[in-house]
C-alpha cells in the first residue's frame, strides 16, 4: 500500500471519527468538582501543569495539546486501538463530555518544556528532518501535518515541548502500540510507515529538536 493511499484512508477515518464525537457532545453530565478531581488525577502522572514527567517511564506532555487529538487518543485507549492497560483503566470510565472537558483544559496550559535528556548537538539535524523530511526513505516533512512550529492542528498532535525520551519510545514501538484494531483505522496509520522508515538515530534527532520548542 502506498503512503498516499494510507494518508487518504486515515484522513477519511479522521473525518468520520470527528463527526462521531461531535454527535456525542451535549450537556455536561458531571459537576465542576468532578472535573477538577479528574484533572488533578491526570496531573499525578503528567505533571502539575501538564508538562510531562520523568519517572520509571516518561509521561507525555498534555499541555497545549490539540483537543481533538486528545479525545481521539483517549477513545483509542477505550477501544483498544492503542495499547496501554493503565490508560484503558483511566479512560474507559470517562463520559464523552468529560473527555471533551479534559481535552479543553489541557489545551489552555502553556508551561515551559520539561528540560533534560536531549542532546543539543542533535537539534540541527532534527530540525532539518522535521522541515524537509528524508526523501531517500520516503519520509515526508513532519511539518506537513504537525505545522511549522509543531503546534499541531485538529487531529494532528502538538509535538513542541514533548519529552524527547517519550517521543523516541513511541516512534520506535509504533506498531506495537498504535493501530491495534485493523478494522478501525485512524490517523496512526499515517505514522506507521514514517516511523518504520526512520532510523533510531534520526528519531533521536527529531525528538531532541522538538523537545526544545515552546
Residue 58 pairs in a beta bridge with 54
pLDDT in tens, 38-67: 999 999 999 999 999 998 899 999 999 999
Q: Dihedrals φ, ψ of 86, to 5°?
A: -65, -50
- Record the pTM: 0.84
Burial label for 29, CB within 10 Å (0-12, 13-18, 19+), is exposed
Helix (H) or strand (E) holding 88: helix 85-91
The set of residues, in sequence order, having a beta carbon less than 8 Å from that of 33 and lying 6+ positions away, is none
pLDDT at 41: 96
CATH number, domain containing residue 167: 1.10.760.10
The total number of structural domains in the chain stands at 1
pLDDT in tens, 128-168: 999 999 999 999 999 999 999 999 999 999 999 999 999 99
The rounded distance, in Å, linking the Cα atoms of 91 and 121 is 38
Closest CA to 3 of 155, 198, 132, 190: 190
pLDDT band at 22 (very low <50, low <70, confident <90, very high): very low
- The range of the structural domain enclosing residue 52 comes to 3-211
pLDDT at 55: 87
Amino acid at each position: 500500500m502506498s503512503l498516499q493511499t494510507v494518508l487518504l484512508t486515515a484522513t477519511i477515518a479522521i473525518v468520520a471519527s470527528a463527526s462521531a464525537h461531535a454527535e456525542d457532545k451535549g450537556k455536561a453530565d458531571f459537576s465542576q468538582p468532578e472535573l477538577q478531581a479528574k484533572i488533578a488525577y491526570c496531573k499525578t502522572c503528567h505533571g502539575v501543569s501538564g508538562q510531562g514527567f520523568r519517572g520509571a517511564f516518561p509521561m507525555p506532555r498534555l499541555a497545549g495539546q490539540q483537543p481533538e487529538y486528545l479525545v481521539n487518543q483517549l477513545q483509542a485507549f477505550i477501544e483498544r486501538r492503542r495499547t496501554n492497560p493503565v490508560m484503558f483503566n483511566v479512560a474507559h470510565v470517562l463520559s464523552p463530555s468529560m473527555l471533551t472537558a479534559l481535552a479543553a483544559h489541557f489545551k489552555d496550559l502553556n508551561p515551559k518544556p520539561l528540560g533534560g535528556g536531549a542532546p543539543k548537538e542533535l537539534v540541527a539535524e532534527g530540525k532539518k528532518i522535521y522541515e524537509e523530511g528524508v526523501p531517500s526513505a520516503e519520509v515526508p516533512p513532519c511539518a506537513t501535518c504537525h505545522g511549522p512550529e509543531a503546534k499541531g492542528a485538529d487531529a494532528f498532535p502538538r509535538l513542541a515541548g514533548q519529552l524527547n525520551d517519550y517521543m523516541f519510545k513511541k516512534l520506535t514501538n509504533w506498531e506495537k502500540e498504535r493501530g491495534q484494531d485493523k478494522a478501525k483505522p485512524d490517523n496512526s496509520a499515517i505514522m506507521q510507515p514514517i516511523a518504520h522508515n526512520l532510523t533510531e538515530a534520526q528519531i533521536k534527532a527529531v525528538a531532541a529538536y522538538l523537545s526544545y520548542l515552546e
